[in-house]
Amino acid sequence: MPNSRFGKSVLIIDYKLEELSRLRSIVSGLGFEQVEAASSVNMAVSYLREQAFDVVLVAYDLGKAEKNGLQVVQEAFAEKLNVFQTLFLLIIDSAYSSLLVGSLESAPDAYISRPYDRAKIQNLLEKLQRVKKAVLRVEESMDNAQWSRALEYCVRLIDIYPGLKVYLERLQGICLLESGSYQEAEVLFGRIVMSRKQVWAQVGQGMAFYYLGRHKEAINVLQQVVVQQHISVEAFSWLARSLHVSGDLTQSIVLMRKAVLLQPSVPQLQSEMGNLAASAEDWPLAIDAFRDVLKYSRYSVFQEPDHYFSLVRCLIAQHQVKNGNKEELELEALRVMESVVRDFVGDITVKFRAHLLLAELRSVLDFEVMAEAELAQAVGLYEQFSAEDQWRWMDWMTDAADGKPSIETVKSIKGKLLQEVNAESWVELMRAGLQHYKKGDLERAAELFFQADNADADCVSVILNFAQVIIERKSLAGNNVSVEQWVACLACLNRLHFGVLSVKQQKRYKALMQRYSAIYTRS
């Protein structure tokens, strides 16, 4: 058998063995040298981590209460697994395929339906392969995150292949968003929407509007996609965020409920739901969402320690409101904390955070001796941190130890840190920013906090400080705050998982969001 003109390797993903066997027989007859099979999203992504496949054929339905096939594309995109050069074909009933064209960044290349027709599959692969060969340089550049180079190739190829203009414009839009060229992206998507009403272009325009701080326009565009029942993670996520920024948290939650009903196995949506519900203090909804995040993000790029800690913090908050069953709360919280330490073994900061949260849990349950023991273990780990990590988690440690015997040890550590100087560290940028803030020099303070954040601070305090300074400047100076700074302020706040923040940080975050929304609605 000669080598396949479609490439050497193909990955088939289906949980139904008979269907998988039929498809394997067809593609084997097309000359592929390597044919691999997977029965779940996690298994498929594991294959994609190991090697790049020329073609991926994935069934949308992978079993009840299981992640769907579209999530293979989403997770591959999130992990940057050569998603642009690979041909992704989604297997779905033709009646539903129109609902899955709303995604901009993680859409499949084409759809096929059952019963399988060898001739149709062959013709489709031939057509798509010609397109892939024509845009090879573009997609190679995109897989390597060389956005400017990819844009240059797009411009050249549109003149050479006018028939591929729509395809290339979609790639242009992705490159513009990824490179932060939001104004150019909005113009491009707006032109496409005016002429052809492409759903993915509406999603892209809504995303660009959001990044530009034009939330009312983002709501108008993205609402059209959602009303049409298109299944797009980006449309739901950015519409919910736009509603939240506009001060309508209730409607934002209603929207995310709909999104979760449409795609219950998507961890990104469940995480968004959990954080919004926690912000509204709807603890049962937040708890259910974070439980599902843990279930569906396991072994994926979306598996994060913050989701474990968010769940336990919400469980504690619900108990404080309803005074529920202590034994059930303690059992679940302990199980989740044991899981996060096991799943992120070797990460000392995860272990530290687990002890901090368990100390809070013990205190809420009136087990003060056990609470102090957990806090002592947290302090012991904290003393082992690098100076940067000690600064990174200083607020968390101080808040937890406040009023406890451990506070003296924490104060001693902080005193030593204040005497140390590391001119190349983000810590010095943060400290300089605080000094300028105290002097009333908000403009310079904002610059320093922004520089600290860009120097890989990964610190909640730095983000909240930057947002606070920008919001204060906007309140006082108005037009003296640039659009870029105003948008960067919100982008920083978006990076935080509200559910995981300490009680003091949550109060501060909510106050900042309320002030941001108030300023935005007045403008």
CB 330 within 8 A of CB 361: yes
Establish whether the linkage from the previous residue to 115 is cis, with ω within 30° of 0.
Answer: yes
> What is the edge-to-edge ordering of all strands in the sheet holding 110-112?
34-38, 9-13, 55-59, 87-91, 110-112
Whether domain 9-141 has CATH 3.40.50.2300: the reply is yes
Q: Which helix (H) or strand (E) holds 390?
A: helix 387-392
Q: What is the pLDDT of residue 434?
A: 96
281: left (phi over 0), alpha (psi -120 to 50) or beta: left
All CATH 1.25.40 domain ranges in the chain, comma separated: 425-522
Mean of pLDDT values over 461-468:
96
- Residue 31 · residue 77 · CB < 8 Å: no
1 pLDDT above the threshold of 50: no
pTM: 0.91
pLDDT of 54 reads 92
DSSP lists the bridge partners of residue 111 as 90
Asked whether the predicted pLDDT for residue 462 surpasses 80, the reply is: yes
pLDDT in tens, 82-123: 889 999 999 988 766 666 666 787 888 998 988 888 999 999
Task: Provide the percentage of residues in the chain whose pLDDT is more than 90.
Answer: 73
Span 207-223, average pLDDT: 92
The residue-averaged pLDDT of 414-436 equals 89
Kindly report the CATH number that applies to the domain delimited by 425-522: 1.25.40
Is the model more confident about 510 or about 1? Answer: 510
Mean pLDDT value across residues 244-254 = 92
* Cα distances (Å, whole numbers) of residue 417 to 71, 386, 392, 479, 509: 45, 10, 12, 38, 26
Mean pLDDT computed over 407-429 = 88
DSSP 15: S
Burial class of residue 349, CB neighbours in 10 A (0-12, 13-18, 19+): middle
Collapsing DSSP to helix, strand or coil, 107 comes out as coil
323 has a pLDDT exceeding 90: no
With contact defined as beta carbons under 8 Å apart, do 207 and 238 qualify? Answer: yes
Percentage of the chain exceeding pLDDT 70: 96
Mean predicted confidence (pLDDT) in 282-291: 97
Domain with CATH 3.40.50.2300 in the chain: 9-141
Q: Is 358 exposed, middle or buried (0-12, 13-18, 19+ CB in 10 A)?
A: buried
Tell me which of 242-246, 312-316, 409-413, 481-485 is least confident.
481-485
- Tell me, what amino acid is at 2? P
Residues 6+ apart with CB under 8 A from 477: none
Give the Å distances, CA to CA, from 408 to 227, 353, 457.
57, 19, 26
The predicted structure's pLDDT at residue 5: 66
Output 198 or 466, whichever has higher pLDDT. 466
3-state secondary structure of 481: coil
How far, in Å, CA of 83 to CA of 73, rounded? 7
Q: Please list the residues that pair with 90 across neighbouring strands.
A: 58, 111
Rounded to an integer, the average pLDDT of 223-237 is: 83
**Average pLDDT of the chain to the nearest whole number:** 91
Residue with the bigger pLDDT between 318 and 477: it is 318
Question: At residue 325, what are phi and psi to the nearest 5 degrees?
Answer: -70, 115
- Among 2-6, 99-103, 469-473, which stretch is predicted with the lowest mean pLDDT? 2-6
Relative orientation angle of helices 326-343 and 305-322, to the nearest 10 degrees: 170
> Lowest-confidence range among 200-209, 416-425, 507-516?
416-425
The predicted pLDDT at position 458 comes to 92
Pick the more confident residue, 235 or 437. Answer: 437
The string over 10-40, giving b where at least 16 C-beta atoms fall within 10 Å of a residue's C-beta and e elsewhere, is bbbbbbeeebbebbbebbeebebeebbbbbb
